[in-house]
Structure 1
């Protein structure tokens, strides 16, 4: 790959890594082997609140994307390959009300992050269950993590369990601790605004 094309894919202040660093707060959750203890909820400003079991979730159509990811701690990993259910497809199950403008993403253990609802309708935003052709490793979010590649990676919540649709924005875990609300890596929105 030409140096100029790599440079065009790396936001300001970032360094490319071949590794996949592991960063999170709290303990890595453990689930039963059959995932009978896992579910995904869509609730709040929706027509039909939905709770999907693992089997129901996996029956939804999946897609693969290849994207670059960027962490607020200044690493970028290029050309990552993910497979999962498009976030927009899960929202269809619940029927989003017109007053819904934001989503508070809920994840284990007691983690949240916030996004504009419009972000979940992008083609490359997935509820990912595979990375590089294999099920996610526990430390990378097994069984499902949200993938939002156009934001810093803390917005791609690991161990995701639900979308709460809201008429107004509400800060999540890191946003309450001073991280930037929008998290756009191209604008270096790392800290300091909610």
Structure 2
């Protein structure tokens, strides 16, 4: 590797660090929000504001994964580890779901219509061992996040590929992202490429940078 290559890698790392720092500031200050806001005490978690569109926050990388190159590996403490291509994923039972989403940066959006694969289907497919207690998600941008198996197994959790009748765009985590609507949106990993069942907790990207490990919006579990 030449000195020029090393300098380029160092510069990219600095840029990524700045983007991460900026998004942490946005999260604390509630900035970079778009859409309209309205109070809704019965449905809106504390500290949240309602928006009508879908704001974009990421690590500064939006990987492009064509269907032909798509692979999802599900492994770890399971009886039947699998790697699914796009066609195999689409051959699984598909379901519709409607849920709200809540971002740690204080915006919420109601009544999102999704289509995808229920987590119950994934659990039936891979058969987690009795020793499995947690799940770790890995994304194509090297993002990671974690859940307990109990959180992931909730009936409203999905792997989704469609939002409001259209394929989820790259900026929002397409072609496939996790949907865990009961928790802040950082738990719903974009561009997911691997799901690992484990016998212990493995905190992810934001969880190791001061974010709360549980992320319940109704308890305002934003930070540790």
TM-score (norm 2): 0.81
Query: Is 1:121 paired with 2:153?
Result: yes
Post-superposition offset of 1:59: 0.6
Higher helix residue share: 2
The whole-number CA distance in structure 2 between the counterparts of 1:99 and 1:160 is 23
Match in the other structure for 1:25: 59
Give runs of ≥4 in structure 1 deviating > 4 Å: none
**SS of structure 1 residue aligned to 2:210:** coil
The whole-number CA distance in structure 2 between the counterparts of 1:28 and 1:114 is 20
Higher relative contact order (CA 8 A, sep 6+): 1
**SS of structure 2 residue aligned to 1:56:** helix
Post-superposition offset of 1:48: 1.7
**SS of structure 2 residue aligned to 1:72:** coil
Post-superposition offset of 1:47: 0.8
Match in the other structure for 1:56: 88
**Structure with bigger gyration radius:** 2
Equivalenced residue count is: 187
Deviations 1:69-94 (A, max 9, x none): 10000000011111110122112211
8 A contact 1:88–1:120 mirrored in 2: no
The whole-number CA distance in structure 2 between the counterparts of 1:117 and 1:26 is 29
**2:116 pairs with one of 84, 100, 123:** 84
Unaligned runs of 5+ in 1: none
Post-superposition offset of 1:132: 0.4
Match in the other structure for 2:162: 130
Higher strand residue share: 1
RMSD: 1.3
